[in-house]
Amino acid sequence: MKKSFTIVIILLLSLILGCVFPFDSGQKERQNDSPRTEKPDSEENERLREKIAQLEKEKLEEKIEDLEKKVEDQKKQPTTKTVVKTVPVKKPPKGFVRVNSPRDGFLALRSQPSVQSGYRIIKIPHGAVLSVYSCTGVTSVGGRRGRWCRTVYANNSGWVFDGFLVR
């Protein structure tokens, strides 16, 4: 199909160039003297345009057929459903707390008891168990009420917000 399209283009270009730039001027004069039995150039060009349009249409129809086949194949494939099994979480031992931050998956251990002035030292993963040493007064962070508590995690000492801890 690609080959026939290329041939049509070459024929079209040679026809156009041959009419505009004849190689032999004597040949042009002989053509004018002889009675014309061929179709006029505009009719030939129109026929070639129609042929090109037909080839393009066939190519598009093939692509549509391929896409429809792919869609049907995808519909036939079985869909898999992921089943998530929840495991009950053990209560942490006395004096310890568990990080409860399922939304983003971690709780920040900060250098100071403040979101604005304290920088994040490390991310404590959701479900980790911590030992809390001391806490400040009640405040609100991210719409949750709680206290800033001093703790150690992975040999890093810092502050966590206990609004995201479970006792």
pLDDT, mean of each 10-residue run, the chain (167 residues): 67 62 51 55 88 92 90 78 60 78 86 90 90 87 87 90 85
pLDDT for the residue 124 = 92
pLDDT for the residue 91 = 67
**Residues sharing a CB contact under 8 Å with residue 84, sequence separation 6 or more, in sequence order:** none
Q: Of the residues 22, 42, 76, which one is the last residue of a structural domain?
A: 76
Same-domain check for residues 105 and 158:
yes
In a domain, 84, yes or no: no
Domain holding 125, by residue range, is 96-166
Same-domain check for residues 72 and 101:
no
Give the C-alpha distances (Å, rounded to integers) separating 152 from 21, 22, 77, 113.
88, 91, 51, 14
pLDDT for the residue 52 = 93
Contact (Cβ atoms closer than 8 angstroms) between residue 114 and residue 141:
no
What does the DSSP 8-state code read for residue 164?
A: G
In a domain, 90, yes or no: no
Domain total of the chain: 2
pLDDT for the residue 127 = 87
The Cα–Cα gap between 148 and 142 comes to 13
Same-domain check for residues 103 and 72:
no
